[in-house]
Chains A and B, each alone.
Chain A
Amino acid sequence: MITYTSRSQTIALFLMVFSTIFTSTGQILLKLGLTEINFYSPLTILNLTFFLGFFCYGIAFFLMLQAFKRGELSLLYPIIATSYVWISIFSPLIFATDSMNMTKWIGVLIILISITLLGFGSTRNIKQKMVIRS
């Protein structure tokens, strides 16, 4: 088993949050790009928005790899849930068909609180290990 320092895990945590920003941007761009595609002229699939969407996914994946080597999976993986927060907040501003409501806001709030707790919980583990060592 690998032990990570508290500093390394904090960097990993922020890398994961950045990764979710790129995943969400990628998703929105792919959806925008999809509307530019005309099925009667297949070359419209080569539009810039669609390409940028995939590019964002690539950056997100790279950031995730960078995070993974710096921390525990049980801390980092659930942070992916932050992308639900970004999408819920930003997609109603971009797509006329999407909207925000009370249920979604409560969901967003609970996710944010939970991720804070998760970060806090993982520092508790590290502190316990330090006590055992000293």
Chain B
Amino acid sequence: MIDIIAVVLVLISTFFGAVATLLIKRGTNQHHSVRKLIFTQIFWLGLFIYGVSIIFYFIALKQENLSIIYPLVSSTYIWTTFFSVKFLGEKMNSWKWFALTGIIIGISLIGLGS
């Protein structure tokens, strides 16, 4: 039986992870030099949200095995791609969508084989 709480925890974790990535990407867009970047609020907010994401992930890891966790973790690629299009104005095409689907299948297979 799949632990529903673990599933929800992983999904929350991946969502926060993608938010953190978006913030840090925004930071690097504004400040090209890492020396300047580390003094910005957006960078530290990003790191903090990464931390929150990792805590949720660790709790979920204790409750479920990798064959369930890995496929769910790869949802972070979907969130990030969605954010890239919505907030960074990036363009997707059928090649990139196809590749993204492949990556998710690949990670799921590694999880199932573990």
Contact = CB atoms under 8 A, between A and B. Distances in A.
B42 interface: no
B109 interface: yes
B34 to A, nearest CB: 6
A81 B100 CA distance: 10
A69 B29 contact: yes
The secondary-structure label for the interface of chain A is helix
Contact of A104 (B34, B88, B114): B114
B107 A118 contact: no
B81 to A, nearest CB: 5
A54 to B, nearest CB: 13
Interface residues of B, number: 41
Contacts of A113: 102
Interface in B56-114: 74, 77, 80-81, 83-85, 88-96, 98-103, 105-114
Interface in B14-44: 21-22, 24-25, 28-29, 32, 34, 37
A96 B110 CA distance: 18
B77 A77 contact: yes
18 contacts: A2-B88, A65-B34, A72-B84, A73-B22, A73-B83, A77-B21, A78-B80, A78-B100, A107-B108, A110-B109, A113-B102, A114-B106, A118-B96, A121-B94, A122-B96, A124-B93, A125-B93, A125-B96
Interface of B: 21-22, 24-25, 28-29, 32, 34, 37, 74, 77, 80-81, 83-85, 88-96, 98-103, 105-114
